[in-house]
Structure 1
Amino acid sequence: MWQESFPIQLMVLGALRYLGRGLTFDDLEDFTAINEEIHRQFFHVFIQFGSSDLFQEYVAHPVNAEQYRTHQHEFNMGGLHGAGWSSDATNVIMWRCTHNLKQANTGFKQSYPARSYNLTCNHRQQILHTTKGHPSRWNDKILAYHDEFLYSLRKGDILQDAKFTLLSWCNQIGGPVKESRYCGSWGLVDKNGYHQWSCTQAPGKADLTLPERRLSEFIESFQKDAKCTFGILKGRFRILKADIRLEGTEAADNTWLTCCALHNWLLDIDGLSSEWQNGVQSDWEGELGDNEAEGFAEYAPFAVQRLQQPEIAQFGSRGEHERSMARPGLLVPEVSQEDDSAAGDNDDNLSITSDGFGETVDEDGAVYINSLLYREFRSLLVEHFDILWRCRAIVWPTRN
């Protein structure tokens, strides 16, 4: 009926206003002089299209190394080599829930029915994957088992050709380092509730050493990408923050998937889905940072010298006395060249314990991370991050 009698542009704008402002169909009737029942029928067609065709076009998780590489950029800047995504779960209120489903969709944290969605995104808040709705009574572990992307990573069905390098000390802390190659993908999850899989790293709850705490702080900061994405989604689409007043779980899930597709589409239109390169230029870079005073580098504070001349060593011209007083550090790690074949080997103290998912190493000697236990892979990440921290090689990514 609406296909022939009403302009499609007006109906689409009404559907977008329903999603973005959280209006009712009665409100749309007041704005457009089109019967609310017509708006309701069209909206169900709109979210059916958004959750199928539109979602498939704008939301797709990487399945090989070439597709995965662009999502790793910001994580590599932050010293989390091999990582490329963050994952978390959220709830969306669903008021018109049938009585037989109300108990399952009423979680332990709230007294109203809701649907739970596990979402995976990169550091640019670009959605890579999301599950369809599940009862809000389910916890994060159950959601992870029903998350196609996370469980495929654990089994090694996707991204097994993605390779990355981790650093480790050869003999002692502060000495030469060696490089080891690994295969697979890993990401960041919340510390409360998720499985301890090697591909899902969470902030530590009881870190005993300073390197462990540093890594946990960075993981926790990067993992907030998923929470920021939830905030952006619920800010752009008021229906997700207020409530979904459509009948049935299928309509609620279609609404969520449509909002995710529109979110990624808007990122592409605004130019915010590309890699973050060098950040916003500060006053110390370019012509603004040039000082006309002759001999400025000689009397400038040491921190300013490092800003203008990054190649200066960590301790610069402070002298041997101050070098001995400061904590150990390396500007550029010395990579051991004793045995080139060791690049694909693990530490001597590391035991590879397969959990039954695929092979342990590939044809080049790189270790599959899904063949390692959670604590084994975590110890490698702690050592790698500690080396980069001492080298001043970790940069928090900022948008251009």
Structure 2
Amino acid sequence: MRDYFGENPKFGERFFRYRYRMSQRLFLKIVADIEASFPYFRDGVDARGRRSFSPIQKCTSAIKLLSTGEPADNYDDYLCMAERTSREGLEYFCDAVIYLYKREYLRKPTSHDVALLYNAHEARHHLPGMLSSLDCTHVVWRNCPRGMKGQYTRGDHKVPTIMIEAVASQDLWIWHSFFGPPGSNNDINVSVAVWSTFVKAYPHLVDPKEVKFKRVQEAARKDVEQAFGVLKGKWKILERPIRIMDKEKIGKVVDTCCILHNMIIKDDGRAISPVHIMDPPVPVAYDPRVLRELHDENVHHRVRYDLTEHVSTVDLAYLDDPAAQPPPIEDLI
């Protein structure tokens, strides 16, 4: 408390943001919301008359474990918290963040979000109708059970890994995340499926228009790659070999990191769609023609051809001049 939360703290806002990965205002809001909804984080007294750890202590321990990826007993000398309590606090913290914030900060794009994303991506990448970018990354699973190692190991990774697949927009906001074994079929396998909504790169470049389109597409594809870089750089538990043995708990950690990542983007004022405006409820309607069109390979090639023709008519000086840069995202929001 003397270091960060007192009247004249030892460390200022800059050090707080560096060590907690977020502003003090956002951290205290999270602590207050969790304390109001979960009795585990409230002050209490045990049968011996000893006070429990404060909400700030428990949330600090969880944030430290997420941001460093170090063992649970690493902060015993600073927070005076045992290893078991730190692990337990991290699990409760992940449950609380998912319960309180997942509906808003790891939501599917609403019609309001889609309209803003279309406008921002067309202005930034010159690709009309672009919603976001899709890619995957791997997290090393250090304590993978022996009976599951074969399922989570593949040729290009010699150790068990968990694949995280995410959809991210230009502001690095993560709109969807999925984790599972490498090559899992539980989600859409874009490398195999030819869907009209996924615009894949040309395998063999022949026309100069195709070369230009591929360069534009590579620039747009860096959105999700940068999102992974920021996510792993901020939450080192995803960058280092993860020690958790339970798959369900690992999934909660991944969701928590993605939610906190999006909360920080909104708190910093960098979100393309910062306000969650829900769509009005509508009756469910199923049209089999839509699914056939999504799986139609001809539609996929026609969409890619139309985008290629559109990009060929746009003057993109920054593609040929390394010194020229596209407009900053602040000018597009």
Give me the TM-score of the superposition, normalised by structure 2.
0.72
Q: For residue 58 of structure 1, what is the aligned residue in structure 2?
A: 105
Task: Summarize the Cα distance change of 1:250–1:359 in structure 2 as closer, same or farther, 3 Å threshold.
Answer: closer
Instruction: State the aligned residue count.
Output: 262
Question: Which structure: larger Rg?
Answer: 1
How is 1:68-217 mapped onto 2 (pairs within 5 angstroms)? 68-77=114-123, 78-131=125-178, 133-136=179-182, 138=183, 142=185, 144-145=187-188, 193-217=191-215
The change in CA–CA distance for 1:126 and 1:391 in structure 2 (over 3 A counts) is: closer
Which protein has the bigger helix share? Answer: 2
Contact 1:94 1:252 in 2 (8 A): no
The counterpart of 1:398, out of the listed 306, 328, 332, is 328
Aligned to 1:265: 263
1:375 is the counterpart of 2:301? yes
**CA 1:115–1:45 in structure 2 vs 1: closer, same or farther (change >3 Å)?**
same
Q: Distance in 1 between matches of 2:291 and 2:78?
A: 61
Q: Which residue of 2 aligns with 1:219?
A: 217
CA contact (8 A) 1:198 1:369 kept: yes
Q: 2: distance between equivalents of 1:2 and 1:213? A: 56
Contact 2:120 2:272 in 1 (8 A): no
Q: What amino acid is aligned across from residue 270 of structure 2 in structure 1?
A: L
Give the match for residue 358 of structure 1: 290
CA contact (8 A) 2:140 2:160 kept: yes
- The structural deviation recorded for 1:71 is 1.1
Matches for 1:228-307 after TM superposition, within 5 Å: 228-274=226-272
* Residue 244 (structure 1) shift: 1.4
Contact 1:54 1:258 in 2 (8 A): no
User: Structure 1 pair 270/103, CA: closer, same or farther in 2 (3 Å)?
Assistant: same
- Asked if 1 retains the 8 angstrom alpha-carbon contact of 2:232 and 2:238, the reply is yes
Q: Note if contact 2:65-2:237 (Cα within 8 Å) is conserved in structure 1.
A: yes
Deviations 1:70-128 (A, max 9, x none): 11223212320011200001111111122221110112211211111210011110111
Residues 1:48 and 1:107: Cα distance change in structure 2 (over 3 Å): farther
Which range is displaced more, 368-377 or 2-11?
368-377
What runs of 5+ residues in structure 2 fail to find an aligned partner? 1-39, 45-51, 274-287, 319-324
Contact 2:194 2:295 in 1 (8 A): no
Contact 2:173 2:265 in 1 (8 A): yes
Residue ranges of structure 1 left out of the alignment (5+ in a row): 147-188, 276-355, 361-367
Where does residue 46 of structure 1 map in the other structure? 93
Distance in structure 2 (CA, Å) of the matches to 1:370 and 1:376: 13
Instruction: State the secondary structure of the residue aligned to 1:230.
Output: helix
Cα distance in 2, alignment partners of residues 227 and 390 from structure 1: 22
The aligned residue for residue 74 of structure 2 is: 27
Q: Retained in 2: the 8 A contact 1:114–1:135?
A: yes
Q: In 1, are the aligned partners of 2:69 and 2:240 still within 8 Å (CA)?
A: yes
Check conservation: 1:72, 1:81, Cα contact below 8 A: yes
SS at match of 1:20: helix
- The alpha carbon displacement at 1:27 in A equals 1.0
Which amino acid is 2:326 matched to?
Answer: W
Matches of 2:97 and 2:291, distance apart in 1: 39
